[in-house]
Structure 1
Amino acid sequence: MTRRQPIDQGWSLAVGNGSAVPTNVAGRRVPATVPGCVHTDLLAAGLIPDPYHGDNEAQLGWIGESDWSYRTTFSWTDEGDDRVDLVCDGLDTVATVILNGVEIGQAANMHRSHRFDVRDLLRPGDNSLTVDFASPLRYARGFPDLPHGYDKPYNQIRKMACNFGWDWGPALVTSGIWRPIALQSWSVARLDNVRPLVSRNGRVEVRADVAWAGHEPLLLTATVGGVAVQVAVAPGTPHVEAGLTVPDPAIWWPRGYGDQPLYDLEVTLATSDGRALDRWQRRIGFRSVVLDTTPDEDGSAYTLVVNDLPVFVKGVNWIPDDCFPSRLTRERYAHRLRQACEAGVNYLRVWGGGIYESDDFYDVADELGLLVGQDFLFACAAYSEEEPLHGEVAAEAREQVVRLASHPSLVTWTGNNECVWGFHDWGWREQLADRTWGAGYYFDLLPKTVAELDPTRPYWPGSPYAGDPDIYPNEPGHGSTHQWDVWWKDPDYAGYRASVPRFVAEFGFQGPANWSTMQHGYHQKAADGDAKIAAALEAYMPPHRDEDDWHYLAQLNQARAISLGIEHFRSHRGRCMGTVVWQLNDCWPVVSWAAIDGEGRHKPLWYALRHSYAPRLLTFQPRGDTVALIAVNDGIDTWQEEVVVRRIALDGTELAAIRLEIDAPANSALTLELPAAVATPGDERTELLVAGGVWWTYVSDRDIAYPKAGYDAVVESAPDGTRVVVTARTLLRDLTLFPDRLDPSASVDTAMVNLLPGETASFTIRSDRPLEAAELTTRPVLRCLNDLR
């Protein structure tokens, strides 16, 4: 039977000869963790400060300019196997592997594994293994320059692009053995790759590649759901197919539409007399997925159809949750993805400047019913189609498509992030002249790879992409769109209402991290980011008096911007079938577009997502010269309810009202028109509409004279923490509690609550220590917009 011997102990790290490093690092050999990387090892050894804190990032650039060497000694026993391979699941990135003083291979791609036959080099007892890493920056600079975002040539090396810095992330260019490394011993034959092609009707087609070291007939057996099939394998056969059908399978559904049953699929390879040689096991789910891009009177659709049901994508973009992905555990992934689910998210787009996410990430997504779109790893740059890059791209694409084929949560492959758009719009043509830029990957190599290896999933050439090379790639009426005119060109987020795109794969608005997170450093990586925040605050919010006001208003304005965008897009459900917010998560303390900050805390935006992504959404929307109430129903049942729409004065006095009946079928958006007597204000600055807890103001908050806050607040113990109960004596706008200002461990269950006079709101706080009642009920912990008056 195939055996795997991890090589994860006894590693040490030293800088390579000739590298210019600080004196406290030069000549030192320190313990190393594998999987890991240079930054985390130097940090653990106390040789560098935390890269995420203060301005430490800027002081650590020498790490990416240096060569590094990992070394260990391991014991091996010869048990007579035909083959022993050294399997490197992830080397980051430019590596030379040396066993017992003999170079056995080189690597230059973080995004693929490497396997070396070492049977003849191993010796019983102790063996030495060295992995030398060349500076990734020097390697990348060794190729002719091609257009790319930011200031480092990340597009010349198959390495996580954002490791070189991004407009939300630090430049912490590292090296290391970032995924497991092990010896694999085997005889006769082994399963090289297994990819199940799964259909909703219960059909499973198993495609297996077999590597051989012997010459005898074998049996391949596939088992799932109590059904098994066995196929004879002639000696030397490289590819084997086995098909079976599970009767009446339980269907895997996206969250919100049904359950997520998973079946164990086991594939075994054995000799004809039954001696087991190798085994492969994964969980699969029975479902179908189609990308509907049918032309219509509005352009052409981009609709994800799962199990014949068109799904409105309520999505977020996912970036690597740590600059050093080896630190990410299954528990960390599970926590972050549950946070996404709790915010109403049903879809994660794994962005093309990061990594092909781990099986832990996808396993959790399978369990939670999250849909995942995975980008191939190209972002905001031109990429050479010549060697050595071409061969690396081809190998990584084949490996990753096969590796992820079993996961029902994976529903789309996308060729790149903003590369096709960049070629058309960012002045690359003149810089490139007649050089290649990646089109051969996006329109030939990658679609052919997906079609060959995993035809059960759709492929889309780029994000954004209009579906036709003759149409502008970011045309809102066709395919997928990135909406960055709001923010980059003009931070007036009312601009989201200027169009109704078919599918918005990126849009975002910045806000600071939570207060306690910011105490580890104020980082702003976006060009003119602070100026854009300031411009948006001036347009929408009352003037701030101090840093406490600024922090509250900047976080609130971010939440308002994204809610406005989502609810506008959702109100046009049918024409628009997806919104994917940039971004769910951060990797360090930073002012950014994220809903969850770099230390895992919910920003107000997270609570706004939870409201705006609710299965049943009431939203006021402008329609022509008036306002309508839209009932959006993403549920599987008809929504029937009576709602009262009222126009009120700022003191709570009712000025007009109407009762409306909601009768919204499943998966629909119903427009409820309001009579002029209700919708039309007498004074835009002193009146608002309310319905079902939803408010509509006719002008921005800076132009509304909210009354001075009047409320009673009571703090009491609760079984699940501390409860703050607020009863309004005046209208209160966006009442929010920030308990992390008192205890960094503290969290709260709700935010941005609107109250009319006489109404009550309850906030439940969880924290590691008792919190003082007086501090919980006063500024800057308890805030509302009325404070600014």
Structure 2
Amino acid sequence: MSSYRPLHDGWILSAVPGGPADVPAPVTAGSVPATVPGCVHTDLLAAGLIDDPYLDDNERRQAWIGRTDWVYRTSFAWSPDEHERTDVVCEGLDTVATVELNGVRLAATANEHRSYRFPVRHLLRDGDNTLTVRFDSAYDYAEERRAALGERPASYAEPYMFVRKAACNFGWDWGPTVVTAGISRPIGLESWSGARLAEVRPIAHADGRVEVHVRVERVTEAPVTVTAEVAGVSAEQHVGGRAAVLALRVPDPEPWWPRGYGGQPLYDLTVRLGPQEWRGRIGFRSVELDREAFGIRVNGVPVFVRGVNWIPDDCFAPRITRERLAERFGQATAAGVNLLRVWGGGRYESDAFYDLADELGLLVWQDFPFACAAYPEEEPFRSEVEAEARQNVARLAPHPSLVLWCGNNENLEGHADWGWQERLEGRSWGAGFYYDLLPSIVAELDPARPYWPGSPYSGAPGQPPNDPSTGTVHIWDVWNREDYTRYAAYRPRFVAEFGFQGPPAYATVRRASSDEPLTPGSSHQKADDGQGKLLRGLGEHLPAPETFDDWHYLTQLNQARAMAFGIERFRALMPYCMGTIVWQLNDCWPVTSWSAVDGDGRLKPLWYALRRAYADRLLSVQDGALAVVNDSGEPWSGDLRFVRRRLTGEPLAKEVVAVRAAPRSVLRVALPGSVVTPGDPARELLTAELDTVRTTYCYAEDTAMAFPEAVYDARAERVPGGYRVTVTAGSVLRELVLFPDRLDPGAVVDDQLVTLLPGERAVFHVTTERELDTGALTRFPVLRCVNERAPAGRAQRSLPARSQVM
């Protein structure tokens, strides 16, 4: 028997005296109500003691929070019950915590990534009890460990590798420095007698076999009976020790598939020990990793990965609800994504994250939380890493969506290529974790799932980690130094990281900044020389911006084009290349970054480009040929229509080619001679169309094209749920976009980046609950295209000189 009582009420938070000199007096003056689960930042925000850390430059002005020690305290009543044992169960403490009950210290912890359980029945009083959790500064702890163990190189001048905490909490090139503290996950009292289910770890196989590994914690040595049941099949075992394995076999199970390959049937598994019960869901599938070329096979079928990297969706983890995750996952699946890579600078995600992935058929690549630094392997870190890995591998083992464990992000490359070896002078850097400890834990606890030591990684410790010819590659010369057309020079096996920046939605910038007027500097920018790279990245592709509105539209458009260019090149290499994982899907705050969905959850133009580039069927003009990409389960056949046209729409040459692209294949079709070479590159374009899929290809960069000034008729009308905006082209309209969030921050449009030929029509559906100005919906700066007429008054809105960074 057991009972659980959450301890989430009545908490108060106070700063420990003697902290940083810049702690505001109202904070040191007393205590504030605390929300549990929660964190210091959100408690201070709720109490009105700080401004929103995500707005203006509040991040910098609130750095004292991470340098301060904090105490959470609550009182609760307790009466003796019939149980033999009572534990305080802490599912998550962030991070350097000392836990006391009635003045008696239970433990000191220093790991955000694991849970804790402390027996306390001997300390509980009949009546009022006091539970206290003190959080010392993670900065102070990390700097003390650094002084003791010696410096380690990293991508940022922060000590994050010396404490088991999400690295990005210390700031990143897309994230704020908000070093958090608090009771980040549920905390409560569990009372029990005899024995309890300490861990349930099912391993399900594609043929219906299930091995249910059970670990039992005991007060007495009396034998207990454990049962397991799934799909009407049950097993029972008498357990005299502390571990057991129950074997079941489900006849003819329905296989679990990634989205786009089949269904996602999930089976309820129940494990019982007396009245105690564990419930979870499992799926039957196999997963294999092709280690030679790097490719993922599910149920024996190769899967081309259309992936995105996932970062923590908020710096303040307790604010990430299942509903918020469901919204973000819906945005991912709507863009054609089939895999999320949980990046190593974050954390192991919540149960809800993996449950949703199971339900939606989203594959999950899980990095262990190590990123962009040399990590010490000495104690206490080795024991902490082992404990967190064991807990989380066991916790996540039931999920069919999880297809890969990865040892780290970029640490192998850092040691090999970033000058770390000289700086380390023989000190440990994490190799023992990635090549020994972590793979041994995965092999023991989750043997049906592959492990990969890190990314990028070429398959053997002696090989260059970022070699495109084998294993995984990260491509960052594009964005940092090279034009995005350099993607065409790569022939990778699997691209696990590549990206290009763009600003967030206008409404997000407006909410996050009090600047009047807005400038490019109004959007947070954490990347080194980020503003300069944004403008240089426009290159010959797009005109130089003259105003903030130009800058916002053109840099967003350039981000979308850059990533579409790369994805199309790499998808066209299938099956030689078997995956792309875009950096990144989401943001944790309002910032100019590489994301497709900004920090307020709004879709950037990149998202719409991603939806096209990740569609099951894609046409892409490349190197004198057309790639017909068919990543669906059915053949794609028909008449492929090529038309070379003047910009006025007049056809100059037409060709029709009968094609058939087999399922999960790429067919390359040479451009017919009459369309491959234009008569006048500046005044002609090419369209290629198969069924309802069309691609438009310009023979020259936009800045060299002789586009006419845009002529169109645009009309907006109220319809249920929002507005319908119809645009009829009188001339070619290049990359037409609609930004309804400029009128209503909650408005969403169903499409973007539409190129129209003269006489063609596009219909946009705007979802909003507000009444909008229909005229404003159809003109600058809401409705835009590359070749638009310059609006009146543009000179008055010119960028300040300081924003024109080159």
For 1:325-724, what aligned pairs fall within 5 Å after superposition?
325-490=317-482, 492-519=483-510, 520-521=512-513, 522-622=523-623, 627-692=624-689, 693-724=694-725
Q: CA deviation at 1:543?
A: 2.8
1:767 aligned partner, one-letter code: T
Aligned to 1:115: 117
Q: Aligned AA for 2:142? A: A
1:135-146 residue pairs with structure 2 within 5 A?
A: 135-143=137-145, 144-146=150-152
Checking the alignment, whether the CA contact within 8 Å between 2:498 and 2:581 is kept in structure 1 is yes
Which residue of the partner structure matches residue 47 of structure 2? 45
Cα deviation for residue 717 of structure 1 reads 2.3
User: In structure 2, how many angstroms separate the alpha carbons of the residues matched to 1:55 and 1:508?
Assistant: 26
CA contact (8 A) 1:316 1:580 kept: yes
- Asked whether the 8 Å contact 1:641–1:663 carries over to 2, the reply is yes
> Contact between 2:721 and 2:769, CA under 8 Å: does it hold in 1?
no
CA shift for structure 1 position 414 = 0.2
8 Å CA contact retained: 2:684, 2:698: yes
Does the CA-based 8 Å contact 1:543-1:788 persist in structure 2?
A: no
CA distance in 2, matches of 1:570, 1:535: 27
Deviation at 1:537?
Answer: 1.6
- 2:247 maps to 243
Superposed, 1:119-268 pairs within 5 Å as 119-143=121-145, 144-234=150-240, 237-268=241-272
Q: Structure 1 counterpart of 2:248, which letter?
A: L
TM-score, normalising length from structure 1? Answer: 0.97
Which string of whole-angstrom CA distances, capped at 9 and with x for unpartnered residues, describes residues 312-367 of structure 1?
Answer: 00000000000001111110011100110001000000000001011001111111
Q: 532-541 vs 64-73, which deviates more?
A: 532-541
> Is the partner of 1:560 in helix, strand or coil?
helix
- Between the aligned partners of 1:700 and 1:126, the Cα distance in structure 2 is 74
Deviations 1:429-475 (A, max 9, x none): 11101111000000000000000000011000001100011210000
Amino acid at match of 1:783: R
Give secondary structure in 2 for the equivalent of 1:24.
helix
User: 1:649 deviation in Å?
Assistant: 1.1
- Equivalent-residue separation in structure 2 for 1:337 and 1:502 (angstroms): 26
CA distance in structure 2 between the partners assigned to 1:4 and 1:503 by the alignment: 46
Aligned position for 2:288: 290
State the percentage of identical aligned residues: 57
Question: Tell me, what secondary structure is at the counterpart of 1:532?
Answer: helix
**Are the equivalent residues in 1 in contact too, given 2:309–2:584 (CA < 8 A)?**
yes
Shift of 1:489: 2.3
Aligned residue number for residue 15 of structure 1: 15
Q: Is the 8 A contact 1:720 1:764 kept in 2?
A: no
Matched-pair contact (CA < 8 Å) for 1:481–1:501: yes
On the 8 A contact 1:542/1:788 being kept in 2, the answer is: no
Q: Give me the whole-angstrom Cα distance separating, in 1, the residues matched to 2:389 and 2:202.
A: 17
- The alignment status of 1:749 with 2:750, answered yes or no, reads yes
Name the aligned partner's letter for residue 677 of structure 1.
S
Letter of the 2:677 counterpart: T
Letter in 1 for 2:447: P
Contact 2:479 2:537 in 1 (8 A): no
Distance in 1, matches of 2:783 and 2:635, equals: 38
Matched residues in 2 for 1:457 and 1:685: separation? 53
Shift of 1:82: 1.2
Q: Is the 8 A contact 1:543 1:702 kept in 2?
A: no
1:306 counterpart (298, 307, 311):
298
What do residues 676-700 of structure 1 show as CA deviations (whole Å, max 9, x unaligned)?
A: 2211111221111111221111221
Aligned amino acid, residue 280 of structure 2: R
Unaligned 5+ segments in structure 1 are 271-275, 295-300
Moved more, 712-721 or 177-186: 712-721
1:562-611 Cα offsets, whole Å, 9 max, x none, are 00000000011111000000000001110000000000000000000000
Q: Say if 1:544 and 1:788, in contact at 8 Å, map to a contact too.
A: no
SS in 2 for 1:542: coil
Structure 2 segments unaligned to the other structure (5+ residues): 514-522, 791-806
2:761 aligns to what? 760
Instruction: Indicate the SS of the match to 1:141.
Output: helix
Give the distance between the partners of 1:90 and 1:748, measured in 2 at CA.
39
Find the aligned partners of 1:353 and 1:78 in 2 and give their Cα distance: 44
Query: How far did residue 768 of structure 1 move?
Result: 2.5
1:788 is displaced (CA, Å) by: 6.2
Separation in structure 2 between the aligned mates of residue 543 and residue 331 of structure 1, nearest angstrom: 40
Q: Cα deviation per residue 1:643-694 (whole Å; 9 max; x = unaligned)?
A: 2111111111111111122311111001111222211111221111111221
Distance in 1 of aligned mates of 2:144 and 2:642: 65
Give the superposition deviation at 1:774: 0.9
Structure 1 CA distance for aligned equivalents of residues 2 and 151 of structure 2: 45
Secondary structure in 1 matching 2:539: helix
Q: Tell me how far apart the structure 1 counterparts of residues 770 and 722 of structure 2 sit (CA, whole Å).
A: 10
For the residue of structure 1 that corresponds to 2:25, the secondary structure is coil
1:713-745 deviations in Å (ceiling 9; x for gaps): 111222342100111111111000000001101
What is the CA distance between 1:268 and its match in structure 2? Answer: 0.6
Residue aligned with 2:123, SS: coil
Looking at structure 2, the residues matched to 680 and 720 of structure 1 have their Cα atoms a distance apart, in angstroms, of 47
Partner of 1:778: 779
Partner Cα separation in structure 2 for residue 309 and residue 37 of structure 1: 44
Task: Kindly provide the amino acid, as one letter, of the partner of residue 55 in structure 1.
Answer: D
Shift of 1:150: 1.3
Deviations 1:397-454 (A, max 9, x none): 0000000011111110000000000001111111101111000000000000000000
Q: CA deviation at 1:544?
A: 2.2
- After TM superposition, give the deviation of residue 215 of structure 1 in Å: 2.4
Partner secondary structure for residue 167 of structure 1: coil
Q: How many residues in Structure 1 have an aligned counterpart in Structure 2?
A: 770
Contact map agreement 1:514 1:603 (CA 8 A) in 2:
yes
Q: Which amino acid aligns with 2:177?
A: A
Please identify, of 29-38 and 146-155, the stretch whose mean Cα deviation from structure 2 is larger.
146-155
| Amino acid paired to 2:554 | L
Residue deviations 1:59-114, cap 9 Å, x none? 00000111000000112222121111111000000000000110011110000001
